[in-house]
Amino acid sequence: MLKRLLLSTTFAAFFFLNAKAQTDTTHYDLGRILLKKEFTQGITIKGRDLERYQFSNLADAINVWLYGIYSNSSSLTYVVDGNLVTDVNAYSIYDIDEITLVQNALVQINGAGGQLQLVLIKTRRNKPGKQGIEAAGQTSMVNVRDISNQPGAKSTVDLYHQYYLSAYKNYNNIQFGASADYQRDVMPEITNSNYKVNDPLHYDRFKFNAYANINTWKGSILNFDVTYDPQRNKADNALNINQPPVSIFQYQNYYIIQHLVNSNISLKSHIVNGLNNIFSAGYSHYNYHETDNFSEGETTSPPINVNSFVVNYNTTSNLLLRDNLYYEKKVGNFVFEPSVNFTFRYLRDSLTTNINTLTISNLNIPEASNSKYASFAKFRTYFLTPSINLYYKKIFNLQGGFLYDLSKTNNQPPDNEKPPKLFPFISANANIAPLIDPNTTIAINLHGAYALSYEFGDGYSALDELGNPATTPVIINQFVSAITNPDGSLSQPSTAANNLYRSFKTLTAGIDIDLFKNKLTIGYLFEKRNYLTTVEEQISSTDNSFTETIAIAANTAYYLNTVNINFKAINTRSFKWQTGINTTSIKQKLPDFGISIGQNAWTGGFVNRFEVNNLFAGANLLYAIGERNYTATSMTKTNSFSLQNLYAGTKIKITHLKYAEVFASARNISQNKSSDITDNRRFYGLGFKLGL
């Protein structure tokens, strides 16, 4: 049945091609469902607004526009041009056109389970003119803020680099282009007389990207793109402490090589009047090879010397097939849009670890050990998602449907419970301003959505990063501390908490107010989710002779409130100033334990962009107020502020160039002493961009 469905929709896309080709710009493609843009609440960022910022992880650049410290590498998941198979950091920021955070409960059925926020990435493909060449680059000095207060401690200093070159050509029926990007990111360290850093933690990453758009048959557009990202990580450090009569030394060196290939081909067809189809096939392959050397010794009697050699090798392959067939029928001022999406995914993953250890002690008698670990996993998923959308002019929209999981369950459910298969959803949106005044230029959009969700297995491999911020406030399927009652007794979760085969409710409600035709916009969103969090609990025996740690799948309730305000304060020919401020609070509760967890901070960003004739500048401020930090005996609150990004530059007129600019930029150069919302790195650099 599934094969017949897939073949029939694909056959329709190729056979009934008799209308003018078109590119759908009216929908957001979430992967398993399409949402009408004009009825969808979200936050959109232009890629060009991030080009003068030093970053290697996109989350570090967009958190100030989204949910502050709650938008980080652990909490964001991405859909790139409709595909859930790619690593967003494999793309150069110069190849990204638009970034959109979707604020709707329907993201839950599109791979954003738990607390994950779904971000759509639209790559740059429709470039202007017949042809073009673009080059850009920036270099920055990087050090790290010293919070150790150790005598003689100082930061290592290294250089961050990013250089980009692209070219494209546009013909009537075909457009193609290619780009290359080199990026070096570094993680300086604090050293002292005992700790030496021979080669600070860093990586060298190359990003090769190519695309083609082809108007093939009448009424169809064939899109193709491929990315290839080789990366090398290195670190080398040594610790030597001489405290006679004992000396201690440690030496660590590791070397990682990674390769990631992403490819996608899609056919967008306008079949007959009102009937459209999008078919795509994506493939991703990733491999990881790590070699670690570790030596440790003490000049005791007898002396101890341990040498360890570790090799890890991992490969992952991911195949994704999608077909989305939708039809638009207009009846008066109403439009009906039924659609059906079919998604198939095949994931294959293997891991091998070898550990060789040589210990020399007891009068230089060597003791050798060797261990090997290997794992292999694969799974196939099949999802069918029919829905129907009804909208009236630009005033009202109602969309509903369900996701049906056609996949086989490989694991035996506990207590013979069957996993859920059907996940309904509904979304409603209305602009009530025209109902009050038909001639108004104001828009007041009300949004509401409800969805049942489940862990749908959308994992994919991504290039390794240098590290996350010092604290990760948002908890996403991670272990949390053991939970005890005030009297010292241990809380026991309800039986229902251990049921892994459940569907979970997600509810969103919000409002967008657009005043003066996008000159001032105000948005508010409330979101509530339920999901499972893994809780680690310590259980002691009656006589306290031993303690056992067990993992429990605990029910979690998640509450989010966020406000976003954007204002085009000045917009004249010679002077432009655009500013925005947002704030977000997230609370979590474990109902089975009767407690709350998480930071409960108000966090967000303050963003500014300026243009005065040929001069431009920008400033971003990231903040968190009321962070809660827990220890075994106390709780403290911290307020944090960081000047996340600051830049200024000028546009230059150069003969034969379409445009040129130079700028100076800085990252995190000002941060209060109690702040813990960044990784403490500071960047000072220069950059350029030009087009031919």
**CA 638, CA 621: separation in Å to the nearest integer?**
17
Nearest to 49 by CA among 582, 617, 659, 677: 617
Looking at the DSSP bridge assignments, the partners of residue 615 are 612, 650
User: How big is the chain, counted in residues?
Assistant: 692
Q: Which helix (H) or strand (E) holds 10?
A: helix 2-15
571 to 413, 609, 614, 618: CA distances (angstroms): 60, 11, 15, 15
Q: What is the mean pLDDT of each run of 10 residues along the chain (692 residues)?
A: 40 35 71 92 94 94 94 89 84 95 93 87 90 96 84 87 96 94 93 83 94 86 94 89 80 90 92 90 91 82 78 89 93 93 89 73 66 80 94 92 84 60 94 87 93 74 64 30 42 46 86 88 94 67 60 78 92 91 89 63 93 95 83 72 96 93 96 86 96 92
Q: Do residues 422 and 447 lie in contact, with contact meaning Cβ atoms separated by under 8 Å?
A: no
Q: Do residues 642 and 668 lie in contact, with contact meaning Cβ atoms separated by under 8 Å?
A: yes
pLDDT of residue 526: 97
Total-model pTM? 0.87
Please state the φ and ψ torsions of residue 12, each to the nearest 5 degrees.
-65, -35
Ordered DSSP codes for 378-394: EEEEEEEEEEEEEEETT
Instruction: Say which DSSP state 107 is in.
Output: G
Structure tokens at 610: 């300026």
Q: Do residues 2 and 342 lie in contact, with contact meaning Cβ atoms separated by under 8 Å?
A: yes
pLDDT of residue 482: 40
pLDDT of residue 343: 93
Please state the φ and ψ torsions of residue 135, each to the nearest 5 degrees.
-135, 145
Structure tokens at 1: 């049945």
Ordered DSSP codes for 45-56: EEGGGGTTS--S
**CA 323, CA 82: separation in Å to the nearest integer?**
11
pLDDT of residue 396: 92
Nearest to 476 by CA among 528, 529, 533, 530: 533
Please state the φ and ψ torsions of residue 13, each to the nearest 5 degrees.
-65, -35
Q: Do residues 102 and 86 lie in contact, with contact meaning Cβ atoms separated by under 8 Å?
A: no
**CA 191, CA 213: separation in Å to the nearest integer?**
52
111 to 37, 315, 432, 490, 528: CA distances (angstroms): 19, 22, 31, 34, 17
Dihedral of the alpha carbons of 31, 115, 680, 565, in degrees to the nearest 10: 80
659 to 49, 166, 629: CA distances (angstroms): 17, 15, 49
pLDDT of residue 357: 73
Q: Which domains does the chain have, with CATH numbers?
A: 2-409+424-691 (2.40.170.20)
Q: Which helix (H) or strand (E) holds 268?
A: strand 246-272
Cβ neighbours for 106, distance < 8 A, ≥ 6 positions apart:
30, 33, 35, 425, 427, 449, 451
